[in-house]
Structure 1
Amino acid sequence: MTQGTLGRVVMVIPTFNESANLEWIVGRLREAQPEVHLMVVDDNSPDGTGDIADRLAAADDHVQVVHRTEKAGLGAAYLHGFAVALEQGFDVIGEMDADGSHQPEQLHRLLDRLETADLVIGSRYVPGGSVVNWPFSRLALSRGGNLYVRLLLGIKVKDATAGFRVFRRATLEKIDLASVQSAGYVFQTDLAYRTVRAGLRVAEVPIEFIERERGESKMSGQVASESLKRITAWGLTERAEQVRRRLGRS
């Protein structure tokens, strides 16, 4: 158990219409990591997810709920949860999905590696990592997107779009969360990129990612389009800064 050296750990779990999954995934995490706290951030789910979260929190002092009044995107939910976790003094703040695609039984891999890193990502695309039940087209899109990120942003992270990760408190404090504007799934790439640019240590550990079995995926064409546009803009900015630095040295 690594929490003793890392301090207090909380996993932030954003939810929108996850009534079929929430109790199941919370139970698995509490069993796998009894010392880890959970924060459910619910975006006013009409299917009763927030009520389930409240019931779980009432029965377990390691579970808490943050209720939001609107569905404003994954990034907005995480930023809200991070702000609450920082205010509450947690030393390690993590992310994971509510749908079971991130296995709580593998969280120890991320926490163990955080002993010598500032951000640890549970990666599908490092040796030992894998994806279960994705069609080839979606796997190719994900791998291609991560390759695009590496080439355009000049970072070595293999799975910058992954959402199973843990941050040291100091990392989140250093990367200026107040200036993050990414609302959708590109939020994951944004924070990985900011961590690298801040000169902090990013590590990846292999995980087995399992496609959800219950409920509907929140990924859409609009989300993918937002990600592509933002990453392209960041990449062009990065290249322009590199040119200016080179010209300044000449």
Structure 2
Amino acid sequence: MKENLVIIPTYNEIENIEAIIRKVMSLDEDFDVLVIDDGSPDGTAQKIKELQYEYPVTLHINERAGKLGLGTAYIHGFKWALERGYQFIYEMDADFSHNPEDLVRLFKACKVDGFDVAVGSRYIKGVNVVNWPIGRVLMSYFAGVYVRFITGMKIMDPTAGFICYRKEVLQTIPLDKIAFVGYAFQIEMKFNAVLYKFNITEVPIIFTDRTKGVSKMSTKIFREAVLGVIIMKIWSWFKSFKRVDGQ
């Protein structure tokens, strides 16, 4: 049985990709990796293909024609994982802002403690962010306050992108109907998990901003989330959220 798959979307991550893959492969628990590369012109995909000679069974790559958005990359990866029977599917950035060692903690939260979703949370125990300017910290923190106010979710870090999902969650959420592709994608996935009454926990992590490469965050992406949260809440009034397992 295939158990763990880490999905890593990439665009121009040549400075980070080899190190992040080697770190994941060195962990005590076994994790396969699927990289979704959106046509990086810097050679990211070629480096992954070279590493596949070392990790022919556990390292995979899907290449796309161009920048199609973070959300569509993860949806593509989720479907790929479900088709191959993985039990636990993870979202993780390529730039070491998420510590790969924390994958083990997310895994244990779901596998051992029985949660359906484990969120690597920057804000469950204070503010655990390194190398961000204070303005960005405040924007991120108060984005969470805003999301909780509008949606009613209790998650302290609803915009987090370091997550473990049990396969049942991704089989239940209608992935083809996820509307947002940027910052709001992470909120929409968690909101759906809450509405379908899956058990969610937050695992405290330390988030360290990238030291190599260029951030993909922009004010446009952030604005999408602000409006998107209101749209999500309104949509939820007109949808049915019944799980096939009857829970």
Name the TM-score, length of structure 2 as normaliser.
Answer: 0.91
Correspondence for 1:167 among 165, 172, 175: 165
Q: Which residue of 1 aligns with 2:133?
A: 135
Matched, 1:43 2:38: yes
Q: How far does residue 33 in structure 1 lie from its aligned partner after superposition?
A: 4.2
Question: Which aligned segments of 4 or more residues in structure 1 are displaced greater than 4 angstroms?
Answer: none
8 A Cα contact 2:92 2:98, kept in partner: yes
Q: Which residue of 1 aligns with 2:96?
A: 100
**Partners of 2:175 and 2:127 in 1: CA distance:** 29
Q: Which residue of 1 aligns with 2:151?
A: 153
**Partners of 1:147 and 1:133 in 2: CA distance:** 22
Q: Which amino acid aligns with 1:11?
A: V
Q: Which amino acid aligns with 1:131?
A: V
- Name structure 1 gaps, 5 residues minimum: 242-250
Q: Which amino acid aligns with 1:105?
A: E
**Partners of 1:169 and 1:34 in 2: CA distance:** 18
Q: How far does residue 58 in structure 1 lie from its aligned partner after superposition?
A: 2.6
**Partners of 2:129 and 2:171 in 1: CA distance:** 32
In the TM superposition, what whole-angstrom CA distance separates every residue of 1:25-55 from its partner, at most 9, and x where no partner exists? 1111111245110000100101111111111
8 A Cα contact 1:123 1:129, kept in partner: no
Query: Could you say what secondary structure the match of 2:53 adopts?
Result: helix
Higher helix content, 1 or 2: 1
Q: Which amino acid aligns with 2:169?
A: T
User: What is the percent sequence identity of the aligned residues?
Assistant: 37
Name the TM-score, length of structure 1 as normaliser.
Answer: 0.90
Matched, 1:192 2:176: no
How many equivalent residue pairs?
A: 235
Query: Could you say what secondary structure the match of 2:158 adopts?
Result: coil
Q: Which residue of 2 aligns with 1:68?
A: 64
Q: Which residue of 2 aligns with 1:246?
A: none
In the TM superposition, what whole-angstrom CA distance separates every residue of 1:89-133 from its partner, at most 9, and x where no partner exists? 111111100000000111111111113111100000012761111
In the TM superposition, what whole-angstrom CA distance separates every residue of 1:77-100 from its partner, at most 9, and x where no partner exists? 111111111111111111100000
8 A Cα contact 1:128 1:206, kept in partner: no
Q: How far does residue 205 in structure 1 lie from its aligned partner after superposition?
A: 0.5
**Partners of 1:147 and 1:139 in 2: CA distance:** 13
**Partners of 1:99 and 1:190 in 2: CA distance:** 23
